[in-house]
Amino acid sequence: MKKKLSRRNLLTKLGLAAAAAAAAPAAKAAKATVQKVLVTADAPKGYDPKDHKWQMVIDANRCIGCGHCAEACKTENHVPEGHYYRTWIERYIVTKPKPGSAETRGEVLVDSPEGGMRGFGPPPVPKEDIQQSFFVPKLCNLCEHSPCAQVCPVGATFDTPDGAVLVDPKYCIGCGFCIQACPYGCRFMSPVTRTAEKCTLCYHRITRGLRPACVEVCPTQSRIFGDLKHPLPDDPLQNFFKNNRVNTLKPHLGTEPRVAYAGIDKEVR
Amino acid sequence: MDLTNVVLEAAPHFEGYVYPNEATPEPLWSVLIVIYPYITGLVAGAFIMASLVRVFRVKALEPVYRLSLLTALSFMLCATLPLLLHLGHPERSYQIMMTPHLTSPMAIFGFVYAWYLMAVLLLELWFDYRQDFVEWSQTESGFRGVLYRALMLGVTDESDKAVRLDMKLGWIISIVGIPSAFLLHGYVGFIFGSIKANPWWGNVLMPIIFILSAMVSGIAMCVLNYLILTWVRRKTIDMRCLDVMAMFLFYALVIDASIEGLDWIHRIYSAEEDFAVIRQMATEKLFYTLNIGQALCGTLLPLLMLGLIQLLRKRLPEIARKRMYFASALMIVIGVFAMRWNVVIGGQLFSKSLRGFMLYKMEFTGMEGWLVGLAVLSLPFIILVVMIKLFLSEKLPTAGHVPHDSPSV
Amino acid sequence: MRRFNLPPQVVRLVLLTIGIVGSYMVARYFLTPKSFGQYGWYRGDALMERASLPRVYAGMKACDECHSDKLQQLAKFPHKTLSCEVCHGPGGAHAKDPDVKLAVLTYGHCVRCHEANPTRPKWHKQINIREHYSGQKCTECHVPHAPSEVP
């Protein structure tokens, strides 16, 4: 314990010195996690990327907005503190139309305090004024035609054969082009590695037969995850497509997201 | 954890709703990325200016031929600097050339840049200057002598035949150079225009608008440089040259303004999903830089002034014309900078959810702050001064061959 | 027969071009990572580098190794869709070394999902914590592993 404390002290001191120089609060908090992000343990044995095709879909009808997924994602992947999220939850509130306005709907209010990772407080409008309200978990849309991978100048972000879209932190030059190209706001520039970062589908977990952290902790099975090349008996992924009419986000852009949604409204972008 | 205790710690950097990853205190692409297309545009424009002499044989512009080529070169040498400074890992930038991802506009830009710098600009300058280098290397000593000798690349042939070949090859390169200049800056436009995720950028007209505004800014920069250079050297201005420059500037500005107008008409008429956001950008968020900076100061006023001179050239005294040229060129140069600002910063002022706006504060210091921006922007001017001292010195006699006559030999 | 001589400036430029292109090819040969292009236009090694990152959440399978009784109990009740780590927190360290204790649970864990919120779907069981019987721990009346039972 003592040893740990002294190391933390040292880190804090280092962090403070760096912060004084850089004066970037996000970078300061991130300094402590810099070792964790690039550290490697053992590689999974016998995993062939060409033998799998992972996919995640969202049943928004089941999301209760607890925020465990966003929190677990931050923890599992050592995502820098602050406005950096690989997955987050949005709360949509459609208010009732004003009496006599001859409209079907009122305003649409959207929020995602801290990416929803601490849950959601009471709604910003009185309960009686709400016509419709629902949560929408967001993550990398795993596009069939990824605009982010398309624009990367060096091939540092790419679609893997097994269906993830990854960033190579050792090869990314940090130009930010992919972040601009992602229509869904799923990427960010990490202050730790100074490279682009995004949802990896928890690649370090799925390659070992574990579920992504967000799926693992989702209490209501709102996030459904599976392998298209190895469907389970009574596969939840197949059932999802059997039982729901699904939608994708911003279909007009032609990115063809593989993350399909059930139970979302036209207001969800 | 008690839900009632959840408080937003940081002050929000946005209004409405923006994706959590977008709520950054600074835009991802900041003032450095504004400067990048600005500088590249000046290169392309100044080169087109020089091509008017060599390819289109506009005799009147001969006095600014070398000046505009040197302007193009000094800006070209700095064109990638803001990009490099802005990278998260500048030390890895060589990868763009080693493993260029062919579907990426940015990767291809590396090759377009290399092609334009080495196969067009440097070659044309070399053919134009080669005979002078040979002469100067004999008369000059010290650093200059060594420099000119090195730049000869060991070719000392001064025969008429060799010089004629220089001119001919220079002419060919100049012809290749015009589409290359369009490619160079059209490509910068494409870097933004290809981002379909961003309705402010993703637009087929973007490369064209970039090319046209590049021509406008490049010619205006040449007008300024010429006026300042003659003023510094206490020389008399070749009014015919200046008038013709201003005429081309006017024409370029007319086309540029109409295409940009067309872009707006199209956006307003088609009024797609993003129109509410775009309208709010134009009328509120970018009011000063777009309406005042780009439209009024950068386009309308110069159009009026330059147009007036086209009509009344004979009746306006020289000094009035000079002042009006200077004023309109300066306004255009500022206006085009405002245009780059509106494109680059404007595209990052609203959320891709189309539900909110980001509120940024420009830093003064720091990598993406004003200070670095100003330094990067002044560097090409410093290089230009050095180049003028070395290659456009009054003390060095030139062979004085006539570039526009070259194809007839 | 007259030998055709290339003009000197052309010779120089051709040599220069060959030099530049040649050094580019050489640089490209040495500076391109070995695994580049293994699966596509990227470093193939990047996949396994990502895959070898350490894990923080252990996953239910790891819990099942020692606590299968709890899992079997849980499976009979509405909480069957919950993974252990939803409430108990990340257990990667605990799974490796059982001496590392998991986080202590508070009533906040229950409220996080069950506090009433108009955005939550109607089928989900919700309480208003201020109106609900307060002042006691949730676990005094409810069993998290068997939520429909009374202790």
The verdict on A44 touching B (C-beta cutoff 8 Å) is no
C55, A210 contact by CB (below 8 A): yes
- The residue extents of the domains of chain B are 16-87+98-394
SS3 B204: coil
With bands split at pLDDT 50, 70 and 90, how would you rate the model's confidence at A27? very low
The verdict on B270 touching A (C-beta cutoff 8 Å) is no
Q: Which residues of B touch C16 (CB under 8 A)?
A: 153
- Backbone Cα Rg of chain B: 23
Cα angle value B366/B371/B373 (rounded, 5°): 95
Q: Are strands A261-262 and A54-59 parallel, antiparallel or unpaired?
A: parallel
The one-digit pLDDT tens for each residue of chain B (409 residues) are 333 333 334 456 788 999 999 998 889 998 999 999 999 999 999 999 999 988 888 999 999 999 999 999 999 999 999 999 999 999 999 999 999 999 999 898 888 999 999 889 999 999 999 999 999 999 988 899 999 999 988 888 888 888 889 989 999 999 999 999 888 888 899 999 999 999 999 989 999 999 999 999 999 999 999 999 999 999 999 999 999 999 999 999 999 999 999 999 999 999 999 999 999 999 998 999 999 999 999 999 999 999 999 999 889 999 999 999 999 999 999 999 999 999 999 999 999 999 999 988 766 666 677 888 999 999 999 999 999 999 998 888 877 665 555 444 3
The verdict on A186 touching B (C-beta cutoff 8 Å) is yes
Identity of the residue in A85, A180, A269 whose CB atom sits nearest the CB atom of B198: A180
Q: Which residues of C touch B169 (CB under 8 A)?
A: 9-10
Tell me the angle at which helices B65-78 and B206-232 cross, rounded to the nearest 10 degrees: 120
B60, B240 contact by CB (below 8 A): yes
Cα–Cα distance, C111 to C93 (Å, whole number): 26
Whether the pLDDT of residue A21 is over 60: the answer is no
Q: List residues bridging with A255 in a β-sheet.
A: none
Cα–Cα distance, A120 to A111 (Å, whole number): 9
* Burial class of residue A247 (count of CB atoms within 10 Å of its CB; 0-12, 13-18, 19+): middle
Tell me how far CA of residue B168 lies from CA of B53, B56, B407, in angstroms. Answer: 14, 14, 6
Q: Find the mean pLDDT for residues A189-195.
A: 94
Tokens of C97: 């070394």
Cα–Cα distance, B163 to B158 (Å, whole number): 6
Q: Which residues of B touch C8 (CB under 8 A)?
A: 154-155, 157, 162
Using the structure block, give the residue that is written with the tokens 């545009």. Answer: B41
3-state secondary structure chain A: CHHHHHHHHHHHHHHHHHHHHHCCHHHHHHHCCHHHHHCCCCCCCCCCHHHCCEEEEEEHHHCCCCCHHHHHHHHHHCCCCCCCCCCEEEEEEEECCCCCCCCCCCCEEEECHHHHCCCCCCCCCCHHHEEEEEEEEECCCCECCCHHHHHCCCCCEEECCCCCEEECCCCCCCCCHHHHHCCCCCCEECCCCCCEECCCCCHHHHCCCCCCHHHHHCCCCCEEEEECCCCCCCCHHHHHHHHCCEECCCHHHCCCECCCEECCCCCCC
Nearest Cα residue to B134 out of A234, A247, C8: C8
pLDDT tens string C82-101 = 999 999 999 999 998 999 98
Cα–Cα distance, C151 to C149 (Å, whole number): 6
CA–CA min distance B289, chain C (Å)? 40
pLDDT of residue B160: 87
Cα–Cα distance, A34 to A29 (Å, whole number): 10
- Determine which helix (DSSP H) or strand (DSSP E) holds B8, and give its type and residue range: none
A191, A27 contact by CB (below 8 A): yes
Q: Which long-range contacts (CB under 8 A, 24 or more apart) does B129-134 make?
A: B129/B391, B130/B155, B130/B166, B130/C9, B131/B158, B131/B163, B131/B166, B131/B399, B131/B401, B132/B396, B132/B398, B132/B399, B134/B158
Q: Which residues of A touch B21 (CB under 8 A)?
A: 83-85, 179, 185-188
Cβ pair B107:A180 closer than 8 A: no
Q: Find the mean pLDDT for residues C126-139.
A: 84
Q: Find the mean pLDDT for residues A209-236.
A: 95
Cβ pair C57:A65 closer than 8 A: no
* Residue B60 CB neighbours (<10 A): 17
Tell me the angle at which helices B31-54 and B160-193 cross, rounded to the nearest 10 degrees: 140
Least confident among A22-31, A247-256, B354-363, C137-146: A22-31
- Determine which helix (DSSP H) or strand (DSSP E) holds B73, and give its type and residue range: helix B65-78
The verdict on A92 touching B (C-beta cutoff 8 Å) is no
Cα–Cα distance, B278 to B354 (Å, whole number): 9
Identity of the residue in C47, C79, C121 whose CB atom sits nearest the CB atom of A64: C121
Task: State which amino acid sits at residue A121.
Answer: G
3-state secondary structure C18-86: HHHHHHHHHHHHHHCCCCECCCCCCECHHHHHHHCCCCCCCCHHHHHHHHHHHHHHHCCCHHHHCCHHH
Cβ pair B103:A150 closer than 8 A: yes
CA–CA min distance B264, chain C (Å)? 38
pLDDT of residue A124: 93
Nearest Cα residue to A180 out of B278, B105, B260: B105
Q: What share of chain C is helix, strand, coil (3-state, %, to 5)?
A: 45, 5, 50
Nearest Cα residue to B331 out of B217, B210, B212: B217
Tokens of C93: 């360290």
Chains that touch A (3 or more CB pairs under 8 A): B, C
- Determine which helix (DSSP H) or strand (DSSP E) holds B14, and give its type and residue range: strand B14-16
Identity of the residue in A84, A114, A155 whose CB atom sits nearest the CB atom of B21: A84
Using the structure block, give the residue that is written with the tokens 């306004």. Answer: B331
Q: Which residues of A touch C51 (CB under 8 A)?
A: 43-44, 47, 203-204, 207-208
Cβ pair A154:B101 closer than 8 A: yes
Q: Are strands A157-159 and A165-167 parallel, antiparallel or unpaired?
A: antiparallel
What is the rounded average pLDDT for all residues in chain C?
89
Using the structure block, give the residue that is written with the tokens 């088609």. Answer: B270
The verdict on A183 touching B (C-beta cutoff 8 Å) is yes
For A67, residues 6+ apart whose C-beta sits below 8 A from its C-beta are A89, A115, A116, A117, A118, A119, A120, C112
- Is the CA virtual torsion A119, A122, A125, A126 positive or negative? positive
Cβ pair C86:A135 closer than 8 A: no
Cβ pair A269:B101 closer than 8 A: no
Q: Are strands A223-227 and A88-95 parallel, antiparallel or unpaired?
A: unpaired
Count of CA atoms in the C-beta half-sphere (13 A) of C80: 7
Cα–Cα distance, B333 to B322 (Å, whole number): 16
- Alpha-carbon B219 to chain mean position: 10
Total number of residues shown for chain B: 409
CA–CA min distance B93, chain A (Å)? 6
Using the structure block, give the residue that is written with the tokens 């996690």. Answer: A33
